[in-house]
Amino acid sequence: MRVLIVEDEARLARNVAKALKETTSYAVDISLDGEDGRHQALSNPYDLIVLDLMLPKVDGLEILRDLRRHGSRVPVLILTAKDTTQDIVQGLNSGSDDYLTKPFDMGEFLARCKALVRRTYDRPDPVVSVGELSVDTASRRVTFRGQPVSLRAMEYRLLEYLVLRTGQVVSKEEILEHLYDFNAETFSNVIEVYVSALRRKLDAGSPCPLIRTVRNQGYVIGDVPT
């Protein structure tokens, strides 16, 4: 999953990004002013936007309204020091999906982020099961045939994205857009490398691969509706 943080307090933005990367394994981009934040939000396919309201150049509510005017359905979590009931009502009525005031508990913040992402993919239950595979998106615990599976950060990130889109063919372009931030180094066959690593850990000795390649289209977990 890929998240945009629009926050002008650089230290806070870095701390939030670090927590998201380490706890949820999300890819994270940071924007430190409203003008750049609006550009990034309208230009990239994010799974979640964490948005401050009091920003230089362009304020958060204007960014939020622009997103909704352009038809964007990306979930937006407002994270702000503006804590009056009027502020909260205005933020929610402007199109935000959730509202959290500063100072805040990082555990609560992360739980809210994960819930919003699950909602995007119509997965209210944090545990997603596909056949003998079970992925707990809250704890990042993966089991296959009842046995725990140890995955590296990017392997887990790729598997979570595929299981959240069970039954859908996911292209390499979509994977790159949703799993890599701007600072990530990528190379031409990076997706194939991680898919191969997952297959070694999940499909060893199985005549029916869990992750299937759809020629000239991408990858899929589960059956594709006909």
User: Can you give the residue range of the structural domain that contains 158?
Assistant: 127-221
Rounded to two decimals, the pTM is: 0.90
| Pair 44, 4: CB distance under 8 Å | yes
In this prediction, residue 54 carries a pLDDT of 96
As beta bridge partners, residue 99 has: 78
Same domain, 144 and 54: no
Question: For the chain, where are the alpha helices, taking DSSP H only?
Answer: 10-19, 34-43, 60-69, 85-93, 106-120, 153-164, 172-179, 190-202
Biggest distance spanned by C-alpha atoms of the chain: 59
Burial annotation 114-150 (CB, 10 A radius, 16+ → b, else e): bbbbbebbebeeeebebeebbbebeebebebeeeebe
Summarised one tens digit per residue, pLDDT across range 150-206 is 999 889 999 999 999 999 999 999 998 898 877 766 666 888 999 999 999 987 666
Same domain, 114 and 133: no
Do the domain assignments include residue 83? yes
Do the domain assignments include residue 55? yes
Same domain, 131 and 198: yes
Same domain, 136 and 98: no
Same domain, 108 and 137: no
Summarised one tens digit per residue, pLDDT across range 4-41 is 999 999 999 999 999 999 988 899 999 999 999 999 99
| Pair 162, 170: CB distance under 8 Å | yes
Same domain, 115 and 134: no
Same domain, 112 and 131: no
Residue 68 CA to residue 96 CA, distance in Å, equals: 9
Strand order in the sheet with 127-130: 127-130, 133-136, 141-144, 147-148
Summarised one tens digit per residue, pLDDT across range 51-96 is 999 999 999 999 999 999 999 999 999 999 999 999 999 999 999 9
Same domain, 183 and 104: no
| CATH number of the domain that residue 213 is part of | 1.10.10.10
Q: How many domains does the chain have?
A: 2
Q: How many CB atoms lie within 10 A of CB 63?
A: 27
Do the domain assignments include residue 226? no
Same domain, 53 and 152: no
The structure tokens listed for 2 are 């890929």
Residue 186 CA to residue 51 CA, distance in Å, equals: 27
Do the domain assignments include residue 16? yes
| CATH number of the domain that residue 72 is part of | 3.40.50.2300
Which of 120, 149, 168 lies at the terminal end of a domain, its last residue? 120
Which of 68, 90, 120 lies at the terminal end of a domain, its last residue? 120
Same domain, 71 and 153: no
Which of 75, 104, 120 lies at the terminal end of a domain, its last residue? 120
In this prediction, residue 29 carries a pLDDT of 96
Same domain, 116 and 183: no
Same domain, 161 and 53: no
